[in-house]
Amino acid sequence: MSTSQIVFGAASFEVASHGQVSKIGAGYIFSGPELEILHKMNNPEFYRHGWNSWSPTGWRKITEKPLKIYGNPLRLLTADDSQHFHEGLHAGSGVGALSDINGKVLLVGALTVGNNVIIADEEKITAQQGNSPSEWFVSYGEETEVFKEYANLLQQRFEIKIKESGPVWSSWYTFFEDISEKNLLDTIDELATFPIDVIQIDDGWETNIGDWSANTKFPNGMAHMADYIRSKGKTPGIWLAPLICLPNSKIATEHPDWILKDESGTPVVAGYNWETIYFTFDSTLQEVKQYLHSLFEEITSWGFKYFKLDFMYAGALPGVRSVQIDREQAYREAMQTIRHAVGDDSYLLGSGIPMIASLGIFDGARVGPDTAPYWDNTERREDPSGPGAWNSICNSLNRYWMSGLYQTDPDATFFRSRQNLLDTNSKTLLKQVAQIMGFRSFSDPIAWLSEEEIQELIIFLNTSPKIKQKGRYLFEIDSEIIDFADVVFPKKRISDFILLK
Ligand code: 9PG
């Protein structure tokens, strides 16, 4: 590696790198497999960016315990890049940053797809490429400015033109998998007069994970559901996890050769949910690409125009593929196939997506773990990716800088008091975060809401306030200033009290 000096006004840093360096705006672009910058900061904070939608993202002091998922290997496999756990180190995916005591930030961000990793310690911040040639953006300055510069470059590189969706009703955070034609038709009737754009059917309609046909709870099939939603003037939306399958699914049994394997020929365990492990596909196989294309042509022909595609990271896991390409590149090709099949006028919302590798393909992206009708859960103290309103708020606000790259979805807001442990203040925080992030969704059935709750919902659906970021967690919503600093770093965890109640 050769060393060079990068200069930002009065500040300068020594960089060791392999390749070319050039100046761009206020920052620099480096190419090459690795970059090492001596930061000369005294106990800075490190911005850890998690690999997929659900992965822990936020700031921790270099002397603090690194922000990660601890003590839950199966969750780690699903909700982060378990390949790059880097025991004991502050490490993240794609982009990382250090914040000095004077509030200035040194940012290193990948401009290319390919499992790029950022690691920081008390002396340096290091960027390492995966299996594809990498380019890095490096800048130093005001925090919101350097993140903006990086986001602008990504926007240009990935030719991002986001389509915006209006408010969404999703079946998940009320009914979970317990949905049926009967209960959804009733719910759709009640939603008909409300100012929402999309009615999205979540997990629970399919025969099995991997077998994407209607199960017996939907006797008239999914095209009937789409027609019904459209007849009420709403856009039909549907959930599926097209890149994974359960071991007992028809597709896994009929096409064992499609399943991604490791070097020993054993199927790669792609994650754990639905009380089982699950597999993913080798999407570099022509047959798999054809399968994905016809699957999405079929679901589009049922009348769906809004797709919540979930557990997508699985397509970018390590494994032996028929074509030797970087795992994130393989995933991206699979996604391009899907985008081609649904057409440019369909809305793609990604959940569990690798955040950098999905740029320019998805319109919307979940930017945090699942919310829940409760604030926190002490059972998994060491898992910031577990469901809960607090975890979803923290992760989402720490990804505010991505809001020009995707329509950033912080997950559902709640208006109901029925089946809900969230107090009024927590519900207000969720609403404000949805307004800040620019994506409004909810799952409450209208029949569960009081008159007053219905009024609050209508106001929420009808307003898109002007947002200004004034500081890391300081936002102006229209003219109201809201500081989330004490929410993200509370003096005491509120779940302690909930469990004692
Ligand atoms: C449907 C749900 C909902 C939800 C999605 C996703 O890390 N995990 O183990 C993990 C499990 C489930 C999960 C997210 C993460 O939920 O986010 O909105 O669609 O699937 O099954």
CB half-sphere exposure, 437, CA atoms < 13 A: 33
In a domain, 62, yes or no: yes
Give the domain extent around 93: 2-157
For ligand 1, atom 2, name the residue with the nearest CA: 203
Pocket flag, ligand 1, residue 54 (CB < 6 Å): yes
Number of domains in the chain: 1
* Predicted model pTM: 0.97
Is the distance from CB of 68 to CB of 85 less than 8 angstroms? yes
In a domain, 243, yes or no: no
The residue whose CB lies within 8 Å of the most ligand 1 atoms, and thus the one to mutate among 274, 310, 396, 439, is: 310
d(CA 37, CA 361): 32
Averaged over 189-216, what is the pLDDT? 98
Pocket flag, ligand 1, residue 78 (CB < 6 Å): yes
For ligand 1, atom 21, name the residue with the nearest CA: 203
In a domain, 61, yes or no: yes
In a domain, 64, yes or no: yes
In a domain, 7, yes or no: yes
In a domain, 18, yes or no: yes
d(CA 402, CA 448): 34
Q: How far is the CA of 309 from the centre of ligand 1 (A)?
A: 11
Per-residue pLDDT for 498 more than 70?
Answer: no
Averaged over 80-100, what is the pLDDT? 95
Pocket flag, ligand 1, residue 282 (CB < 6 Å): no
Beta strands, E only, 380-493: 407-409, 441-442, 467-471, 474-477, 480-483
Is 383 among the catalytic positions? no
DSSP state of 348: E
Question: What ligand 1 atom has the least distance to the C-alpha of 308?
Answer: 19
Per-residue pLDDT of 214-242, as tens digits, reads 999 999 999 999 999 999 999 999 999 99
DSSP per residue, 45-100: EEEEPPSBTTS--EEEETTSPPSS--S-HHHHHHHS-GGG--TTSEEEESEEEEE-
Per-residue pLDDT of 442-487, as tens digits, reads 999 999 999 999 999 999 999 999 999 999 999 999 999 999 999 9
What confidence score (pLDDT) does residue 501 get?
Answer: 41
Per-residue pLDDT of 254-281, as tens digits, reads 999 999 999 999 999 999 999 999 999 9
In a domain, 125, yes or no: yes
Per-residue pLDDT of 121-172, as tens digits, reads 999 999 999 888 899 999 999 999 999 999 999 999 999 998 999 999 999 9
Pocket flag, ligand 1, residue 351 (CB < 6 Å): yes
In a domain, 355, yes or no: no
For ligand 1, atom 3, name the residue with the nearest CA: 172
Pocket flag, ligand 1, residue 116 (CB < 6 Å): no
Which residue is catalytic, options 81, 203, 310, 409?
310
Is 370 among the catalytic positions? yes
Which residue is catalytic, options 81, 282, 326, 370?
370
